[in-house]
Amino acid sequence: MFKFNFDVNEQDSSDSTESPFKKIKVDKEDIKDLEAEQKIDWYKAEEVKPNKELLNNMDLYELNAKELTIGNTEIRHLVAGFLLEDIKTNNDVDSKDIKQSEESHTDLIAGVYEGGAKIWECTDDLLLYLTKEYVEANWKNKLVLDLGCGSGLLGIYALKNGATVDFQDYNKDVLEKITMPNVLLNCEDGLEDDVKIDLLQTKNKFYAGDWMHFAELTENHKKYDIILTSETIYNIENQQKLLDTLRKRLHPDGNILIAAKSHYFGVGGGLEQFVEVVKAGKVFHSQQLWQADENLKRGIIELKFQ
């Protein structure tokens, strides 16, 4: 169970600096939590460059990779259990955020770690949806952002189907220890290691840090045709930040696919609640694409500019 402890107007709304999204009402206990959260020193955004040191561990990555078949697409990725155990047992200062999370037995430490080392259920949901509804032509010549990428499976799927993909995660060590190795594992067979690193350095961009700062850092970059994101709406206080980032980075004709649970226990966020925030903002039109009526309800929505 995923559980934590706590109309575009005539004026181009995608470039407006003032947020059109309204904050929703919360109870007194939530207000106390939000006041505490406002003091959090969120990591500034930065572009993280792949380097040849990644090649030193390629044999280890190959030995501890799992194969995942999504439709006609094969994706290889590191086994989370192996990776987390390796980080815990080795005194790796570059993986301090992941290590702190594992030692604290929590998937969320506000301002420090945002659960990027694990693959959550809704990522699988969105991957399966893409195999059924998106053909190869949907990806060709498209610039895609995997926002809150974690393992990067959504972006890797788009990459392997012809898109150009950028990856963003809150934690730099998630990008370096998980996302980048996974992208390398999915390079075309037969390529020399140096060629793989060159492709990683020239074809993809990797960004760490807070969403708001990410939007500022990339404000002069080309906007994204498709933004994919999964399990990123759980924190009510961060939803406005998320929507503002989507508004600033989405191409006017682009679309956003969001996979999430109907309710996140302990933090108050959820898909239905998030849709109400979207409606209040009057920037995006939302459409439900898929819903699972199981014990833990999940869904996928699409956002487009009104």
Kindly give the confidence (pLDDT) of every residue in the chain, 306 residues in length, as a single tens digit, with 9 standing for 90 and above: 333 333 333 344 445 545 555 444 444 454 445 445 457 788 899 999 998 888 888 888 888 899 999 999 999 999 866 666 666 666 555 556 555 555 554 555 455 445 545 677 899 999 999 999 999 999 999 999 999 999 999 999 999 999 999 999 999 989 998 999 999 999 988 888 889 999 999 999 999 999 999 999 999 999 999 999 999 998 898 999 999 999 999 999 999 999 999 998 877 789 999 999 999 999 999 999 999 977 779 999 999 999
Sheet of 298-305, strands arranged across: 46-47, 205-208, 164-169, 143-147, 224-230, 250-261, 298-305, 284-292
Q: Is 21 helix (H, G, I), strand (E, B) or coil?
A: coil
Cβ–Cβ < 8 Å for 97, 112: yes
Cα–Cα distance, 19 to 8 (Å, whole number): 13
Q: Residue 301: enclosing H or E segment and its boundaries?
A: strand 298-305
SS3 of 156-193: HHHHHCCCEEEEEECCHHHHHHHHHHHHHHCCCCCCCH
CA 60 to chain centre: 25
**Would you say the C-alpha torsion 120, 122, 125, 129 has a positive or negative sign?**
negative
Burial string for 289-304 (b: 16+ CB within 10 Å, else e) reads ebeeeeeeebbbbebe
Who contacts 276 (Cβ-Cβ below 8 Å, separation ≥6)?
24
Give how far Cα 237 sits from Cα of 9, 90, 92, 113, 212, Å. Answer: 25, 35, 32, 16, 13
Contacts of 296 (CB under 8 A, 6+ apart): 1, 2, 121, 261, 262
What residues form DSSP beta bridges with 75? 68
Q: Considering the domain 25-37+47-305 in this protein, what is its CATH number?
A: 3.40.50.150
Domain boundaries, the chain: 25-37+47-305
Distance of alpha carbon 258 from alpha carbon 300, whole angstroms: 6
- In this prediction, residue 112 carries a pLDDT of 46
Q: Model confidence over 38-51: pLDDT tens digits? A: 577 888 999 999 98
Quote the tokens at residue 154.
């959504």
